[in-house]
Amino acid sequence: MRFVGVALLVLVVGCDRRDPASAITASRVQGSEEGCSDASLRGGYGFVQNGTSTAGPLAAVGLTTYDGSGNWATIQSLSRNGAFSFDETSAGTYVVNADCTGKLFANGQEIARLSVVDHGRAVFQLNETAGNQVPALHKRVQRSGCTVASLEGDYGFFRSGMTSGGPLSAVGLAHYDGAGSSSAVQTNIRNGVVNPDVSVSPAPYEVNADCTGRLFFGGREIARFVVVDNGREVYQLSEAAGNAVTGVQRKVNRGLGEE
């Protein structure tokens, strides 16, 4: 029986005369997914972007909707060098290649490069507007629609960008009660000066069915945001005068994570 087993092993090895590297490559291709296409992007994707433009610092949050057939539409709120614009709309076409890279077009001109990841649940984007250096992260929003209950619990966050007084960075913790009221505490650094444990409470919030929303404090609107990843993450744009500051919030999991 041992001789038969050895003979079979030799026969199998001898039949595959490919170069070892080619054999590995072929195995990976056969074991991989079929690849991406325009259909890999379908539905709403919240996004955050922060960088520089010819006009100065640029920061934005918004929602892009892909139809799965090569058409997109965006609504966004943004700060250009501290000047705010709300609910700006744009539309165009897109192409996604089999390797999951892609391009975005508007008025027949290429305006961005894409990289589709995580089975189409997220997209990395680079804006190609002349003079801009603005990357963006897109994540799919809740397919069934959002409400204030989509935000409930504690969310750790960081914020970064430019203010009229210089650069700003911060980390902190926000709490949403799922019924339209929130609070937050953060430590920030404004132009090199540390400000510990700055609190904002209460801060009412509202969430639209498309998963965009607004945050209020002292009776005025202080931020626009979009809820993504089934309520696990929030992208936020500060509306403080002169700011070009965005933040990313992620829901806290107080249990032990899996390895």
Q: What is the DSSP string of 12-80?
A: HHHH--S-HHHHHHHHHHHHS-----GGG-EEEEEEEEEEEETTEEEEEEEEEEEESSSEEEEEEEEEE
Check if the beta carbon of residue 102 is closer than 8 Å to that of residue 116: yes
What pTM was estimated for this model as a whole? 0.85
Rounded CA gap, 50 and 162, in Å?
Answer: 10
**Looking at the chain, which residues constitute the CATH 2.40.128.120 domain(s)?**
148-251
pLDDT at 254: 72
**Looking at the chain, which residues constitute the CATH 2.40.128.20 domain(s)?**
38-140
pLDDT at 255: 65
Rounded CA gap, 112 and 95, in Å?
Answer: 11
pLDDT at 250: 98
Write out the chain's pLDDT in tens, 259 residues. Answer: 443 343 333 333 343 434 444 333 333 333 345 799 999 999 999 999 999 999 999 999 999 999 999 999 999 999 999 999 999 999 999 999 999 999 999 999 999 999 999 999 999 999 999 999 999 999 999 989 999 999 999 999 999 999 999 999 999 999 999 999 999 999 999 999 999 999 999 999 999 999 999 999 999 999 999 999 999 999 999 999 999 999 999 999 876 554 4
Check if the beta carbon of residue 59 is closer than 8 Å to that of residue 235: no
Rg over alpha carbons for the chain, rounded to the nearest Å, is: 23
Side-chain half-sphere CA neighbours of 188 within 13 A: 23
Check if the beta carbon of residue 225 is closer than 8 Å to that of residue 243: no
Rounded CA gap, 243 and 253, in Å?
Answer: 31
CATH tag for 148-251 (out of 3.30.930.10, 2.40.128.120, 3.30.470.20, 3.30.460.80):
2.40.128.120
Superfamily of domain 38-140: Calycin beta-barrel core domain (2.40.128.20)
pLDDT at 2: 42
Check if the beta carbon of residue 207 is closer than 8 Å to that of residue 213: yes
